[in-house]
Amino acid sequence: MQRRWELASVPPQHAGTSSHTSATLQRNAAGYQTLAEYDAAGNIYTTTESLTSSSSRRIPAQGNGRRMQNLRAELLTAWSAVIDEGVESGTYTLGKAVQQFERMVEEAWTTPDTDPMHAVMVNSGTTALYGALVACGIKPGDYVIVPAMTFVSTALACSWVGATPIFVDSTPGTWTLSIDAVKYLLTERADLRSQITAIIPVHLYGAVMPEMAALIDLAQAEGWKVIEDASQAHGATLTVGSERYFAGTMSDAGCFSMSGVKNAGVAEDGGCILTRSPEMAAFLRMWRDLGRKPGDRYGFHVPGVRGRMGTFAAACGTVQFQHLNKWNQQRRAIATRYTAVINEAGLSLITQVNPDESEPSYYKYVIVAGSQAEREQIEDCLAEASIETEHYYPCMLPDQPIYRSGQLPCVVAGDLAVARHLAACGTCLPIYPELNWHEQERVIEAVKQAFARHLHAGVAVAAGV
Amino acid sequence: MQRRWELASVPPQHAGTSSHTSATLQRNAAGYQTLAEYDAAGNIYTTTESLTSSSSRRIPAQGNGRRMQNLRAELLTAWSAVIDEGVESGTYTLGKAVQQFERMVEEAWTTPDTDPMHAVMVNSGTTALYGALVACGIKPGDYVIVPAMTFVSTALACSWVGATPIFVDSTPGTWTLSIDAVKYLLTERADLRSQITAIIPVHLYGAVMPEMAALIDLAQAEGWKVIEDASQAHGATLTVGSERYFAGTMSDAGCFSMSGVKNAGVAEDGGCILTRSPEMAAFLRMWRDLGRKPGDRYGFHVPGVRGRMGTFAAACGTVQFQHLNKWNQQRRAIATRYTAVINEAGLSLITQVNPDESEPSYYKYVIVAGSQAEREQIEDCLAEASIETEHYYPCMLPDQPIYRSGQLPCVVAGDLAVARHLAACGTCLPIYPELNWHEQERVIEAVKQAFARHLHAGVAVAAGV
């Protein structure tokens, strides 16, 4: 895992975007004045409000506020259409937009020459994970392997079904769940082996776990279900052999957060479960709706949850999802630029390794400093330049109060050195399609400034992360 | 319980609405042409689309489609304001509209001279019940008393915390949970007595359970928590001694569905927990947000759920909630009219008994026929006149597949004769503020028609319901 500074793959038309941009003032459908920026190839790069005083304007860590503003007219039109739909039916639950969103996702992410995907929209990514575990038959007393470095929901969903999460470390470089750590666990904790029933790889920061094929082989040998947590990896792909798979389509069930902070989402909480099993999809359509059988409004046939996606939420999802590919290209272009600058300047920072067969969605762009103090120095420089940063995640899961205190049981496998280092030293640079060229420049300059002031360029970074 | 034909209480200004209405064509802010109808007192009675061919237009069972259409301009404005708010913060979760909605509910439903209420908005009424049970310390192995005649969520929430629901019958006449049935249970199943930890009265169809004071006395004597399911009773009141209490404010926690089909809601799924305990409110604010402590974005301190209300949802709630009192008056006027007609015509139908001290919100107006066959004859006549009816609920909970099949454990107390009869013979007449005078007339005529054709007026109805 020494390909530390490798460039992320980037589509050819974006390779030269650093050479030229042009800006044009526009008026969108809602009458809001925006400034559209185009790169040399003529692709719209970003549309935000006026760039006046852009040199000091705050750069938020997340871009979904700007995204929603840009989509305002489309969204209000879509929501108004949902209102119309309900006038006749008298209800807004599980309306047309939900089905439409499900069909869009199924069509976008079904790999040719494989069985079609079924998408079931739910009210959060957490609900998606919970539903996938229930549908896979994970039950109280079971153990489920999850990475220590992920959002709390990956583990909480296991706790909700009464299973115990086993936290394993990440692979150095790619930062996704380590198969070596899993194998170590099976040796060290042979007593648990027969009670492990599932494993949840997380496609962290938008990069598909590269060893998915090996993981699935291992899981099949052990009799485990595999559930992908693809919340951060909308539209990310992994090529295995001759087949290119989308995140969330390689296992028993793929779970997505569709929340508004994700690469494409529903403004607020939302989620989606993808499966090739029509039976699982049929079960989950009942489960999300309190166990209600389609066509039997007041008949509750399986123990379910109030977990359906709302129709207004789904309408937002359909508006955003059609932009996803373009937005992912824009994220990739920014990631490429950041990585190139870090490499060219020889800054002693670690970034995520992405093998050639992987095309990430760049939900987050994380840089890892050599120490927590160094991270703070970088963040201070960014804050001085009015640039927000975030920690994804500042605390690995076994250190969270709910697990550390014993309120919820868990098992920790090994010393979790990689996860611990990421939590202590990683920080996110802003990355979203609405981040304009000048703002990217400001981010880059602030990072360089931190090195000019405090840190050494070109120094080898602690190995193993 | 012989006050079968008693008039529902009705505010004086609506007592004479049957004498006169006038209609005026209007154009609302969104440009949609509506017909506003005014009663003799000058109150807007309903605004819907043109009444052309109103004699045959379908009358939906639920009015929230019409409601949303009438509010379209207000809603789109409110949602646009939420978009603006997120541009700066970059997030739409737990935004200003959520807090605003909580303050509105707290102010509206706090009884003078009592401790202030705390409102915690969540993503469904089911989540509200679940959260209240968790906050009240109800745990696996406990038993919780619930009425057999209620929506499935009342019992499912108990199952979710690992408790077992005990289904008891309703009181004849008022149809709410029977204290006599509870006392019978304590005698017959003395073995369970020590394991019962809570009781959930449901304010069915919008009528507060009249015996709340006696219920609370019993619960205190037994050491039970009392959780009100006030999902159907937004703004309904019960006067106890000199104090007038709103539904949901008389117990340890009041739970509301705020879904779009309720008297005022958020278009889709939503809920609210009301409590006088600041500690419980603080806990629930963490619990609904995955256990996150305010101010500690990535610190999860209690085992929580993804149950927060969305800001766009809450914005709809604030728009609707300010109309609630007016809408409830309109519902009461319709209920009064229906009841008067049924009484005057001497139709052999049973309607809900509402004692003088109770002011219901009339979420539903249920008529109970003498038999299932008679109910069908009435519904057929309504359907012929393009009037939709609904069953609230066609199947009492212990007969639901999830409980009947043993998938979820439950206990049944007694023969549940009243609940069984309501399920078999009850049907809902359309009742909502947007139901115009002519439509009410059509409903009444269709019911009368059923009696003219098939049934006998003035015949005594099976006693005890």
| Digit-coded pLDDT (tens) for A139-165 | 999 999 999 999 999 999 999 999 999
**Chain A neighbours among B 399-428 (CB < 8 Å)?**
400-402, 407-408
Residue A302 in any domain: the answer is yes
Determine, for residues A301 and B79 on separate chains, whether the beta-carbon distance falls below 8 Å: no
DSSP code at position A114: S
**Helical residues (DSSP H) of B145-231, grouped into ranges:** 152-160, 179-188, 212-222
pLDDT per position as a tens digit, B408-465: 999 999 999 999 999 999 999 999 999 999 999 999 999 999 999 988 765 434 334 5
Q: Tell me, what's the pLDDT at A132?
A: 98
Same domain for A397 and A349, yes or no, is yes
91-150 of A, contacting B, C-beta below 8 A: 91-93, 123-127
Query: How large a percentage of chain A has pLDDT more than 90?
Result: 81
Q: What is the dihedral of CA B340, B341, B346, B347, to 10 degrees?
A: -120
Angstrom CA distances, B33 to A296, B21, B25, B200, B256, stand at 36, 19, 7, 44, 34
In a domain, B379, yes or no: no
> Could you tell me if A177 and A188 lie in one domain?
yes
The whole-angstrom separation of Cα B395 and Cα B230 is 20
Mutate to test the interface with A, among B83, B258, B289 (most CBs of A within 10 A): B83
| pLDDT score recorded for residue A20 | 33
Burial status of residue B175 (CB atoms within 10 A of its CB: 0-12, 13-18, 19 or more): buried
- For residue A18, what is the DSSP state? G
Q: B153 vs A303: CB contact, 8 Å cut-off? A: no
Is the per-residue pLDDT at A10 higher than 90?
A: no
Is B298's CB within 8 Å of A267's CB? no
B64 vs A80, A86, A400: nearest CB: A86
pLDDT at B54: 59
Whether the Cβ atoms of residue B98 and residue A102 lie closer than 8 Å to each other = no
What type of residue is A80? S
- Bridge-based pairing state of the strands B33-39 and B118-122: unpaired
pLDDT category, A29, cuts 50, 70, 90? Answer: very low
Q: Among A291, A321, A351, where does a domain finish?
A: A321
Positive or negative torsion for Cα B107, B110, B112, B113 = negative
Task: Report the alpha-carbon distance of residue B301 to residue B296 in Å, rounded.
Answer: 9
Question: Closest by alpha carbon to A259, among A218, A310, A210, A301?
Answer: A310
Mean pLDDT, to the nearest integer, of A270-289? 98
CA nearest to A355, candidates A13, A111, A1? A1
Q: In terms of domains, do A110 and A254 share one? A: yes
Residue B406 lies in a domain: no
**Domain count within chain B:** 1
- Residue B17: the pLDDT is 32
- Over residues A56-74, the mean pLDDT reads 93
Which pLDDT band holds residue A192 (cuts at 50, 70, 90)? very high
**Measured between CA atoms, how close is A211 to chain B, in angstroms?**
28
Q: What does pLDDT average to over chain A? A: 88
Q: Residue A70 carries which DSSP code?
A: H
Q: Which are the contacts of A158, defined by CB distance < 8 A and separation ≥ 6?
A: A133, A138, A144, A146, A164, A165, A200
Residue A22: pLDDT above 70? no
**Residues comprising chain B, all counted:** 465
Cα-based distances in Å from B428 to A152, B306, B463: 44, 34, 20
CA atoms of A318 and A388, how far apart (whole Å): 29
Shortest distance, CA A196 to any CA of chain B (angstroms): 22
Shared domain check, A289 and A269:
yes
Which of A295, A321, A347 marks a domain boundary?
A321
Q: pLDDT category, A44, cuts 50, 70, 90?
A: very low
Residues A45 and A86 in one domain: no
Among B147, B363, B391, B101, which Cα is nearest to B236's?
Answer: B363
B427 occurs within a structural domain: no
Q: What is the CATH number of the domain that holds A122?
A: 3.40.640.10
Kindly state whether residues A212 and A329 are assigned to the same domain. no
Higher per-residue pLDDT: A38 or B192:
B192
| A368 and A389 assigned to the same domain | yes
- Same domain for A427 and A406, yes or no, is yes
Tell me how far CA of residue B222 lies from CA of A336, B139, B140, B166, in angstroms: 67, 17, 19, 16
Question: In terms of residue numbers, what domain contains A43?
Answer: 12-66+324-453
Is position B149 within any domain? yes
**Regions of chain B with pLDDT less than 70:** 1-54, 457-465
The confidence score (pLDDT) of residue A366 equals 98
State which H helix or E strand residue A424 sits in: helix A417-425
Residues A392 and A285 in one domain: no
Distance from CA of B12 to the nearest CA of A (A): 31
Q: Is residue A461 in a domain?
A: no
**pLDDT given at position B36:** 39
Rounded to an integer, what distance in angstroms lies between the CA atom of residue B293 and that of residue B290?
Answer: 9
Q: Is the pLDDT of residue A14 over 70?
A: no
pLDDT of residue B56: 79
Which SS3 state, helix, strand or coil, does residue B298 take? strand
Say whether A306 and B68 touch across the interface (CB within 8 A). Answer: no
B334, part of any domain:
no
Tell the burial category of B31 from Cβ atoms under 10 Å away from its Cβ (0-12, 13-18, 19+).
Answer: exposed
DSSP B455: -
What number of other Cβ atoms are within 10 A of residue A301's Cβ?
18
Confidence at residue B325, expressed as pLDDT on a 0 to 100 scale = 98
Residue A455: the pLDDT is: 81
- Asked if residue A226 lies in contact with residue A198, where contact means CB atoms within 8 angstroms, the answer is yes
pLDDT at residue A174 is higher than 60 = yes
Residues A265 and A370 in one domain: no
Q: With contacts defined as CB-CB under 8 Å, which chain A residues touch B268?
A: 92-93, 310-313
**Six-digit token pair at A270?**
């939302």
Alpha helical stretches, state H, A250-371: 278-287, 311-321, 324-345
Q: Are residues A122 and A166 in the same domain?
A: yes
| Rounded Cα gap, residues A290 and A293, in angstroms | 9
Within A123-214, strands assigned E span 143-147, 164-168, 196-199
**Distance, CA of A219 to CA of A227 (rounded, Å):** 11
Contacts of A65 in chain B (CB under 8 A): 83, 86-92
Residues A418 and A399 grouped into a single domain: yes
Whether A3 maps to a domain, the answer reads: no
pLDDT for residue A458: 59
- Cα B324 to Cα A450: distance, rounded to the nearest angstrom: 56
Out of A297, A321, A345, pick the residue that ends a domain: A321
For B86, which residue in chain A has the nearest alpha carbon? A65
